[in-house]
Amino acid sequence: MSQAVLCEEKVKSPEAQYDLLTEVMDRYNRNEKNLIQILHYAQSIFGFLSSDTQRFIAEKMDLPLSRVSGVVSFYSFFSTMPKGRHTISICLGTACYVRGGKKIIEKLNELLGIDVGETTLDRRFSMEIKRCIGACGLAPAISIDNNVHKRVNPNRIKNILELYE
Ligand code: FES
């Protein structure tokens, strides 16, 4: 087994994930002014910020849990729920909104059975809203992971989703 695979497996175990998070906090001197960066790292390690992870950070940094959870809930880029393998970002910037962004959301609700901010039970997709993804001239647009899909027709979204396992 290669070193890379070993490392990947190691970081997947909860103990290794918490060890890594402790290392990160140490690197940032467990200083409250670095809390946002630490939370970013924690989210990249675990995929989301569970209440256990928030409690762990609060204890190790000697902060009230309410301080940590307050920051997590304030910033929309922090998630307290597990994310799907693929993130669908629906643009609701002005151009996309005017050209039917809401219809895309309705279609995704129907096809996936989830709403914005939720994840499918099979953890395949999560849904979120963006305010502009840089494709205004070809609205309405969505992105899935790093791929932008332009001039999206709600009746063809099923075909787009099939591209993502
Ligand atoms: S408003 Fe949707 S891409 Fe800019």
Q: What is the pLDDT of residue 11?
A: 59
Closest CA to 26 of 61, 56, 51: 61
Query: For the chain, which residues make up each domain, given as ranges?
Result: 3-74, 86-161
**Residue the block writes with tokens 């307050």:** 70
| Cα 122 to ligand 1 centroid, rounded to whole Å | 29
Instruction: Please report, in tens digits, the pLDDT of each residue of the chain (165 residues total).
Output: 333 333 444 457 889 999 999 999 999 999 999 999 999 999 999 989 999 999 999 999 999 999 999 999 999 789 888 889 999 999 999 999 999 999 999 999 999 999 998 899 999 999 999 999 999 999 999 999 999 999 999 999 999 999 999
Distance 90 CA to ligand 1 centre (A): 9
Q: Is 132 annotated as a binding residue?
A: yes
Query: In the CATH scheme, what is the code of domain 86-161?
Result: 3.40.30.10
CA angle 146, 81, 132 (to 5 degrees): 35
Cα separation, 90 vs 77, in Å, equals 15
pLDDT at position 74 is 93
